[in-house]
Amino acid sequence: DAQGNLKLRGGLGYLSHMMVLPGQMSRGPKMSKVEADGVKEVRRQLQADLRKVARSNPEMSSDDRILRFLRSYKHDVERTVERMRDMLDWRWKQGTDQIRELVVKHWHEDFWQMRCIPRRDFFKKMN
């Protein structure tokens, strides 16, 4: 688009709003006092889990991410903690942060030029 964001197909939005690359920091989400308290409580309850994931992917432990979960579970802190813990556990088991590291390492503005994309040539033909 005009701002230089990569528009993703399939209604996924803009990459720049989905991923914080190393060296970039979010300005932080706008949130109410209730939401700020909820984020703080989720962070307290998931402290060990978030510390583990923050080493390889700080975006997963950001206030943006926590707030997104909190809002999706209608500010229910216990459900948010449960679902975030499930998500973090799944990510850990699947090795998604290692995959992300490869993407960041080999990042190229032209998605299909990135050598780390599995079966890149096959999927490029479909695009």
* Residue 8 within any structural domain of the chain: no
Measured over the CA atoms of residue 82, residue 104, residue 13 and residue 11, the dihedral's sign is negative
Q: Is 67 within 8 Å of 35 (Cβ atoms)?
A: yes
* Residue 49 within any structural domain of the chain: yes
Q: How confident is the model over 103-125, as pLDDT tens digits?
A: 777 665 566 566 666 666 655 66
* Residue 32 within any structural domain of the chain: yes
Number of domains in the chain: 1
Q: How confident is the model over 83-102, as pLDDT tens digits?
A: 999 999 998 888 888 877 77
* Residue 5 within any structural domain of the chain: no
Claim: this prediction has a pTM higher than 0.85: no
Domain coverage including residue 34 = 15-126
Spatial distance between the Cα atoms of 95 and 93, rounded to a whole number of angstroms: 6
> Mean pLDDT over all residues of the chain?
75
CB atoms < 10 A from the CB of 7, how many? 10
